[in-house]
Amino acid sequence: MKPACNVATLIGRFFTERLMRQRNVSANTIASYRDTFRLLFMFAQVQLRKPPSALTLTDLDATFIGAFLTDLEVKRGASAKTRNLRLTAIRSFFRFVSFEEPAHSALIQRVLAIPSKRHDKRQVHFLTRPEIEAVLAAPDRTTWLGRRDHTLLLVAAQTGLRLSELTGLDRDAVHLGSGAHVRCVGKGRKERTTPLTTLARCALQAWLKEPLRKGATALFPNVHGARLSADSVQSLLGKHVRVAHKSCPSLKAKSVSPHVLRHSAAMELLQAGVDCSVIALWLGHESVETTQTYLHAHLALKEAALAKLKPYERGKRTRFQPNDRLLAFLEAL
């Protein structure tokens, strides 16, 4: 009989040795994996009536993991995308365990065989130029907070930085001389520079002359001099979008998040005729295929392609007539 294997020991080694020391993953990845296993162990505590430190590997079999994933969707209302994200963390752990505990390979392989769930892939949401301008005009620039918010939103809409990249910017990451740009470290710890328009450069130049808040090093700090959290940026954006509704009614029908500003920057580049490979470099995408999603959302490009097609002649269309019962059945599906 295979000996019981304590999960707490394996989890400790997985985080400290595999993720931190060997792979040197980002803090965001650590946080995401931590949240996954916190949820898993809370679920186990309720279902198995065992404290997390007493769990053994045999407790976490494929049936139990499947029940946990179902619970995420049914009781916690998680989307299929979130469910797959949690499964990715669990698979990473079990791949590590496969080398540490080969005696449990059958259990491990069954967990690794749990498939990801297919889900609808929606078109990206973005703002039009009038909508962007309405949002940028919303902050009250007679106050320190208003000037900060205006500059932050302008940089976000022009550079297309991810939210974590935007809040992670330091004051020394901005270069305002010849070839003005901001420098950030994105996904995969890849450093990249993004050029600034004249408007963004002037706004940042004025913002950097503002008095420092408690020796803050962050480019966009809160009133206490600390970095803005993701929730804070979402909150301030929502506040200014509500103000912008008054001058731009089309915003009422849109859910605007910081990532929508990133999509908007990409669509601005695409509408200006910039090649997808350049947009991929601009946004820090791992592959050009990721950037193709903007082509799918660009209706004007599709309409231009449609205009080049020769229209069908009337009366020339024919419908397929099946000559077999099986073909007729398939045609009716």
The set of catalytic residues is 162, 187, 259, 262, 285, 294
> 125 with 260: CB under 8 angstroms?
yes
- Name the token pair of 20: 């931190």
Contact (Cβ atoms closer than 8 angstroms) between residue 223 and residue 213? yes
- In total, the chain counts a number of residues equal to 333
> Among candidates 125, 171, 148, 315, which has minimal Cα distance to 237?
148
Secondary structure (3-state) at 184: strand
237 in Cβ contact with 153 (< 8 Å): yes
Residue 18, token pair as written in the block: 């595999």
User: Among all chains, which residue has been given the structure tokens 């973005």?
Assistant: 126
Q: What share of the chain is helix, strand, coil (3-state, %, to 5)?
A: 60, 5, 35
Amino acid at 188: G
Q: Do the beta carbons of residue 180 and residue 195 sit within 8 Å?
A: yes
First to last CA, the chain: 52
Q: How many CA atoms lie within 13 A of 262 on its CB side?
A: 17
Q: Is 245 helix (H, G, I), strand (E, B) or coil?
A: coil
Dihedral of the alpha carbons of 52, 55, 57, 59, in degrees to the nearest 10: -100
